[in-house]
Amino acid sequence: MPSTAREGLKIVIVGGFGVGKTTMVRSVSEIRPLSTEETMTQAGVGIDDGASPGKTTTTVAFDFGRISLNEHMVLYLFGAPGQERFWFLWDRLFAGTLGAVVLVDTHRLADSWYSIDRLEHHGTPFIVARNNFGEPEHSLDQVRQALDLPADVPLIDCDARRRDSSKTVLLSLVHHLFALSSARETTS
Q: How do residues 9-59 score in pLDDT, each as one tens digit? A: 899 999 988 899 999 999 999 988 766 565 655 555 555 554 555 655 555
Report residue 187's pLDDT band, with 50, 70 and 90 as the boundaries. confident
pLDDT at 1 over 50: no
Pick the more confident residue, 180 or 53. Answer: 180
C-alpha Rg value of the chain to the nearest Å: 16
Q: pLDDT tens across 54-99, in order? A: 655 555 457 889 898 888 888 899 998 877 767 777 788 888 899 9
Burial of 127 per CB tally in 10 Å (0-12, 13-18, 19+): buried
Contact 89, 81 (CB under 8 A): yes
pLDDT tens track for 111-144: 889 889 989 988 999 999 999 977 878 899 999 9
- Name the 3-class secondary structure at 158: strand
Cα four-point dihedral sign 177, 179, 180, 181: positive
